[in-house]
Amino acid sequence: MIEFSHLPVMLEECMEGLALKDGGVYFDGTVGGGGHSFEILKRTAPNGRLIATDLDDNAIAAAQKRLSPFSGRFQIYKSNYKNYADVLQQAGEDKLDGVMLDFGVSSFQLDETSRGFSYMKNAPLDMRMDPQGELTAESVVNGYSEEALFQIIRDYGEEPFAKNIAKNIAAERKKGRITESAQLVSIIEKSIPAKFRHGAPFSRKTFQAIRIEVNDELHGLEEAVRGLSRKLKKGGRICILTFHSLEDRIVKNVFRELETDCICDKSLPVCVCGKKKELEIITKKPLTATQEELEKNPRSKSAKLRIAERVEEYN
């Protein structure tokens, strides 16, 4: 197994966004290699506490090792961040001073060929963030109907040639099972007119779509963002890094919903809806990586960071 390596995206922006303080309790829902978590613990010394989750066994092992200088101040659970309520209960915490979510696929997951996340290297079609998960990219590609594939590639990948790609996958798998990423890349390539095969890698959108389906990435995302926002203490911050427009749109809409005060008809003399403003959006427009970071870490190119602050504790 290669060593887990992951450059934390927009590290300084995230740490500033969290408004870290000694003694605070923080939640990192996607611990990865522990890059953001390390800085949270370092900058909240000596009494800050971290609760983290991840589905990747290798990531958890790497994070445990990296965070070892802060022994006694952190706990990592093998769980989806969407299970935050159960995790916080296990950790004996109810309210948080900050939440960090990084939805990016780690450099390690992309670079470890056997995981099958990358379209740049041939590998078995896997794409599971949790290696114990039942659904794989191979089972999606070979088992889903042509219509289901079309919808996934269109909706999750926002791929304009989704119909062609789904049609050609369905035709190709009749000749034999599609088991490797190079086979899928070849099918995608012949599905996209040559004049459109430029700029960003032409397989990226389809691979993204299948990865989202395999890991059920969007289901429950809205509720998790809303729920974690409500776990914040007054003045607590939530920082969320997204890497494609579907996630970013969900985060933006939840933040806006929670920032909105009374939604009654303006003709009414008094509020009857009872809705109260819960968040103050700190980033009116999402932050993106600096040119300096882009040169060091090209994978930060699509990152968007949104930050919000709790205005009143949620009961």
Query: Which tens digits make up the pLDDT trace of 9-25?
Result: 999 999 999 999 999 99
Question: In terms of CATH architecture, what is 11-103+220-310?
Answer: 3-Layer(aba) Sandwich (3.40)
Residue 221: pLDDT over 70: yes
Instruction: Identify which has the larger pLDDT, 104 or 82.
Output: 82
**With pLDDT > 70 as the criterion, what percentage of the chain qualifies?**
95
Q: pLDDT tier at 6 (50, 70, 90 boundaries)?
A: low
As a CATH number, domain 109-215 is 1.10.150.170
Q: What pLDDT, on the 0 to 100 scale, is given for residue 288?
A: 97
Give the torsion sign (CA, 36, 307, 250, 248).
Answer: negative
Q: Which residue in 8, 5, 6, 53 sits closest to 26, CA to CA?
A: 53
Task: Give the β-pairing of 96-102 and 49-54.
Answer: unpaired
Per-domain boundaries in the chain = 11-103+220-310, 109-215
Give pTM, 2 decimals.
0.89
Q: What pLDDT, on the 0 to 100 scale, is given for residue 2?
A: 43
Q: pLDDT tier at 4 (50, 70, 90 boundaries)?
A: low
Amino acid at 157: G
Q: Among 1-15, 156-170, 283-297, where is mean pLDDT lowest?
A: 1-15
Q: What's the whole-number mean pLDDT along residues 189-208? A: 86
Cis preceding-peptide flag for 269 (omega within 30 of 0): no
